[in-house]
Amino acid sequence: MRHNRSQRGSTRSHHALKGIALTKCPDCNNPVMRHQACSNCGKYRGKVIINLEKKTKAVKATKTPKKSEKKA
Ligand SMILES: [Zn+2]
């Protein structure tokens, strides 16, 4: 049976999306998404998953030769 506008609206009043559930990283207190490694320290459940120091060095190394290639 067809719902009227009021019934449709009252049903959809519960369909709004809720905000992302964030927790704090136990190591650095940075807000982190559940079940994902911390973007600040690269740790998940106390273990280092992403080595952020290596990544930043690699980015710097790749950036510098590109500039020299453009000039030459
Ligand atoms: Zn962290």
**pLDDT tens for each residue of 11-49:** 999 999 999 889 999 989 999 999 999 998 889 988 888
- For residue 11, tell me if it sits in a domain: no
41 in a structural domain:
yes
For the ranges 36-40, 50-54, 66-70, the one whose mean pLDDT is highest: 36-40
In a domain, 1, yes or no: no
Instruction: Please check whether residue 66 lies inside any domain of the structure.
Output: yes
Q: Is residue 55 part of a domain?
A: yes
Centre of ligand 1 to C-alpha 24, Å, is 8
Q: How many structural domains does the chain have?
A: 1
Q: In the 8-state DSSP scheme, what is residue 10?
A: H
Q: Which domain holds residue 63?
A: 18-71
Q: Who contacts 39 (Cβ-Cβ below 8 Å, separation ≥6)?
A: 30, 32
Q: Is the pTM of this model over 0.75?
A: no
- For residue 31, report the distance from its CA to the centre of ligand 1, in Å: 8
In a domain, 43, yes or no: yes
By the CB criterion, residues less than 5 angstroms from ion ligand 1 are 25, 27-28, 30, 38, 40-41
Grouping H, G, I as helix, E, B as strand and the rest as coil, residue 33 is strand
State yes or no: pLDDT of 8 exceeds 90.
yes
